[in-house]
Each structure stands twice: as C-alpha cells, then as structure tokens.
Structure 1
Amino acid sequence: MTYSTVMVALAFDQPNACRLSIAAELAERFESRLIGIAASELSPPVYYMSGSQAERLMVEGLATIKQRLSELEAEFRQAMTGHTRELQWRSAIEQPSRYIVQQARAADIVVCGAGVSGLLTDPFASADPADLVMEIGRPLLVVPPNVCRIDLSSVLVAWKDNPEARRAIVDALPLLRQASHVTVVEIVESEEDHGRAAALAGVHDVVDWLSRHHIHAIGEVPEHTGDVSRQITDIARQVGAGIVVAGAYGRSRFREWILGGVTQHLLEQTSRCAFLAR
C-alpha cells in the first residue's frame, strides 16, 4: 500500500506555502503523482441583485476568480518543480468543498489547510476541513499554517475502538511504516466507560496488528479518564509527535461543534499535522 496520487487543496484566502511544501514532500517520499486543486464561487449577494449592476458585479467577480485560479496554478507549479515527474492542475468556478470532494476520487490522500479556531470558513473561497472529512472518502492530512514539513520522528495514533479509527490506521499505514516511533494511545472517557482493562486489551491488539505490518509501536492507556483532547495533546507533546492519526467524528459532528470534541480540536490545533479518516 502506498500513496500513488497526492492531492493538495489550495485556498483563495489563506496562505498555501506549508500545505504545498508537505504535499511536495509526500510526493517525493512515495514517488507520487501530484494534483493541485482549487475552486471558488461567487458569493450570494450577487444573486440578489438585478439589472446592470448585478451583471457588472458578476462579470467582475468571475474575472477576479479566474485571475486568482491562474495565480494559484502558477504557485502550485512553481512549488512542485523538481518534486515529481507528473503534475496535474484542476480548478473550477464552483463551491470549493463540493468540487474537492468530487475530484478526490482521483487521489489516495488529500492535503488541506487547518481550520481557524473561533472563525467560520468562507464556503465560497475555501474548503472547510470539517466538511471535507465528512464526505471525501479519502484520508485527509490537515496542515496548520505554521507547519511546513512532515515530521515522522514520532507519530501518535489516537485510538478508539470504532470504525473511524480502524479506517484511519489502515489508511495511515504508508506513513506509519516510515515513522521512527509510533505510539498508540486510548483515553478512557469516563469511569462508567468500558474500563481501562478493556482499553489496554484493545491497544495491545492494535500494537500487535501493526507489528504484522512490520511497524514497531508501543501502547499506552493513561490512568486518568476524561478530557480526551487535552490528554491527547499532552501525550503528543511528550512523545514529540509530528502527526496525530485519528478517526474523525465518531460522534455526531453537531455534538462536537457544540460541546467540543477530539476531531474539532485536531482540525484547529496549530502544533502538528492531523491525519484523519472517516
């Protein structure tokens, strides 16, 4: 298993340098084809006008989008020079998340930017990683704006015995094989949960399964329960993890958005990349 095609999603209104750098590094590591992708759509106010003013604004808006798409293609091609022998560029005047989800059928992994804590993403200019991970059907490597290289000296697998985590760890196998150290951790959410003994048994199975794929890993189940996001962050810091691998939205996305949750935390933290699958 490898990543034969890497797709990197560029944003209209955010810096793209770090996600481009990481996509280029992935392509070099796995000798991958690289696909750059971007899309934008006119924002709604244009559709509520009429007459010559609306026509003028629409023409100007479309021209601005086409110009920006051209700039992003040039930025993509310049950043990828010398990193791969096969480049593709895909763009459209369309809602970004919808377009990227559609085009991701051509990729093994999609690289995108992180969300910004407390701020809403403009859906007409950038793809919200929370939207992508829900629908894309591919692993998503979420890159904070200040993380510009893949650090595989240590990778943390945030384990939870559910389908999302199982899918994520399978999708992450190519990266885990290249990691120097792999730690599998499960946080018991409450005293009333299935208990630490059951969690230890599950983590032991995962570590053993990884060994069958020639990946040496260690397992950990902290004695403290609850506050999963904080504990994962603390352990990631302790082991020096450059990437956290996790299944996305084991609970409803709405509940995580309202109450907070591990997926939302990983999408918004700025210290390390998050490898998410659902």
Structure 2
Amino acid sequence: MTYATVMVSLALDQPNEARLQVAGELAERFEAAIVGVAAAQFAPPLYFTDGAEAQALIDEGEASIKRRLAGLEAQFRAAVKNRGGHAEWRSAVDYPARFVTAQARCADIVVSGGQSPAFSDAFSLASPKDLVMQAGRPLLVVPDRANWLDLRNVLVAWKDSPEARQAVADALPMLHKAKDVIIVEIPEQGDDRSAVMAGVSDVAAWLGRHGVTATARVLEAAGNETPAARLEKVAGDVGAGLIVAGAYGHSRFRELILGGVTQYLVTQTARSVLLSH
C-alpha cells in the first residue's frame, strides 16, 4: 500500500505553511501527486439589505473571496514546486467542509491544520473534526508549529474498534518508514488485562506480517486521569512525532460538551496525528 495522491486543505485567515510543508514531504516520500484544495463562502452581514444594493454586496463579497483563494493557490504552487509528482489546485466559493469532503474522493490521504478549541467559522474553515467524520479518507492533522513530519517514533493509540483498525491500515505506508512503532491501549476500569494485552499483541503481529516491527504495551487504567491526559503523557515519554488513532464522534453539541480523546487530538499542538473514522 502507498499514497498515490496527497490532498492538502488550505484555509483563509489560518497559517498554512506547516501543512504545506508536510504535504510536500509526503508527496516526495511516496512519489505521489499533490492536490491543493480550498473554499470559502460569503457570509452576509447581520444588517443585510435587499434589491440591487444587496446583489452588489454579494458580488463584492464573492469577488473578494475569489481573490483570496487565488492568493492561496499561489502559496500552494510556490510551496510544492519541484516536490512530488503532478500538482493540481481546486477551489470554489462554497462551504469549506462540503467542498473539501467532496474533493477528497480523488485522494488517498487529506492533510489539514489543527483547530483551536474556540468556535470555528464554517464559512471560511473546514474543521478537521468535520473532515475526519465526513471525508471517508484518513486525515493527517498537522500542528501550525510543525516544520516536518517526524516518523522516528510513532504511537498507535489502540482501542479495539473499527475506527482504530481502519486507522492502522491507513497508516501502513507511514509505519513502514517509521523507526519505532509503539502500540498502546489504555484499558477501562474492569477490563481483563490479559485479554487487552492479547488484542494489542495481535495488532503488533499483524503489523509484523506487513513488515512493520512494533512494540505492544498496555497501560494501567486511567483512574482519575483522563484518557487524553494519559495519552499525552505516553506520547511525551516515547517522543512520538506522530500519533495514529481512530476518530470517535458524537453530534457537534455533544462533542463540544463532552470533549474526549478525538477532541484533544485535533486541538493539541505538539505532534501530527493521523485519524480515521
């Protein structure tokens, strides 16, 4: 398995340098095509008028978006020049999440920036949470401070679920290039530790048959510590440059209230994360 096409999602009013750098690296490593994609929708002001004045306002707003998208295209082409194979740009005046998830049909993996915990504007930003739940492709979330894709130590945050199984399969091309791969599961209270260890060992053996040497570990149950906090500590201890995990989502309202490991993974700023749903 390899990545034949890498897609990178760019955003207005957001730093794009890190995601462009990592997407370019992926295209080079796998001799892949690279597709840049961006969209934004004009948001009428609250004091919106009607008639000819309204149409003029809409026209100017959409023209401004098109100019800014052209600027993103120029940034994309400058960043990926001489990197990887074929380079292509796609953009539209549209809701970003809707446009990017539609275009993801042509890609093997989508690269996005992270998201701050603050409210995000659906008119100008394709939220990584929306992308991973809707795109049907693995999402590589790159922190704004990243300047390369560090695959020396990769942490697989395992949970015996369809999402985690898909994430490990989607990450295989990167795991082949990793120096050390550690599979970690944080059991829940009352779980049979030996059964959990058998499951993690199965994953390590499966990876071994694909040519990836991995170490299996089962931690103590989180107790008073949240699973996200425990995962952060382990990632720091092993020096993980990349976390691989399944993405678990509820409704937007419930996710906002409950938070959770997926919420943490798309907002943390220390390392890149590959998520699959």
Q: TM-score, normalised by structure 1?
A: 0.95
Equivalence for 1:245: 244
3-state SS of 1:45 partner: coil
Equivalence for 1:219: 216
Q: C-alpha offsets along residues 207-232 of structure 1, whole Å, 9 cap, x if unaligned? A: 11110011001011112434211111
Distance 1:50 1:253, change over 3 A: closer
1:204 to 181, 189, 201: 201
1:134 is aligned to 2:140:
no
Conserved? CA contact 2:6–2:34, under 8 Å: yes
Equivalence for 2:232: 233
Equivalence for 2:86: 86
In structure 1, what is the Cα distance between the partners aligned to 2:249 and 2:197?
A: 20
Equivalence for 1:179: 178
Conserved? CA contact 2:249–2:255, under 8 Å: no
Equivalence for 1:149: 148
Q: C-alpha offsets along residues 2-52 of structure 1, whole Å, 9 cap, x if unaligned? A: 000000000011010000000000000000000000001111437943123
Equivalence for 1:18: 18
My pick for the range that moved more, 83-92 or 176-185, is: 83-92
Q: C-alpha offsets along residues 161-182 of structure 1, whole Å, 9 cap, x if unaligned? A: 0000000000000000000000
Equivalence for 1:105: 105
Distance 1:134 1:116, change over 3 A: same
Quote how far apart the aligned CAs of 1:251 are: 5.9
In structure 2, what is the Cα distance between the partners aligned to 1:110 and 1:47?
A: 37
Distance 1:47 1:213, change over 3 A: farther
Quote how far apart the aligned CAs of 1:253 are: 5.7
Quote how far apart the aligned CAs of 1:65 are: 0.5
Quote how far apart the aligned CAs of 1:127 are: 0.2
In structure 2, what is the Cα distance between the partners aligned to 1:112 and 1:47?
A: 33
CA RMSD of the aligned region, Å? 1.5
In structure 2, what is the Cα distance between the partners aligned to 1:58 and 1:253?
A: 29
My pick for the range that moved more, 253-262 or 26-35, is: 253-262
What is the number of residues matched between the two proteins? 275
Conserved? CA contact 1:6–1:109, under 8 Å: yes
Unaligned runs of 5+ in 1: none
Unaligned runs of 5+ in 2: none
In structure 1, what is the Cα distance between the partners aligned to 2:65 and 2:230?
A: 42
Q: 1:68-83 residue pairs with structure 2 within 5 A?
A: 68-83=68-83
In structure 1, what is the Cα distance between the partners aligned to 2:5 and 2:62?
A: 30
Equivalence for 1:257: 256
Q: TM-score, normalised by structure 2?
A: 0.95
3-state SS of 1:57 partner: helix
Conserved? CA contact 1:41–1:96, under 8 Å: yes
Conserved? CA contact 2:27–2:85, under 8 Å: no
Distance 1:261 1:201, change over 3 A: same
Distance 1:253 1:50, change over 3 A: closer
Conserved? CA contact 1:46–1:57, under 8 Å: no
In structure 2, what is the Cα distance between the partners aligned to 1:74 and 1:115?
A: 23
In structure 2, what is the Cα distance between the partners aligned to 1:93 and 1:22?
A: 26
1:57 is aligned to 2:57:
yes
In structure 2, what is the Cα distance between the partners aligned to 1:179 and 1:220?
A: 18
In structure 1, what is the Cα distance between the partners aligned to 2:106 and 2:141?
A: 18
In structure 2, what is the Cα distance between the partners aligned to 1:150 and 1:197?
A: 34
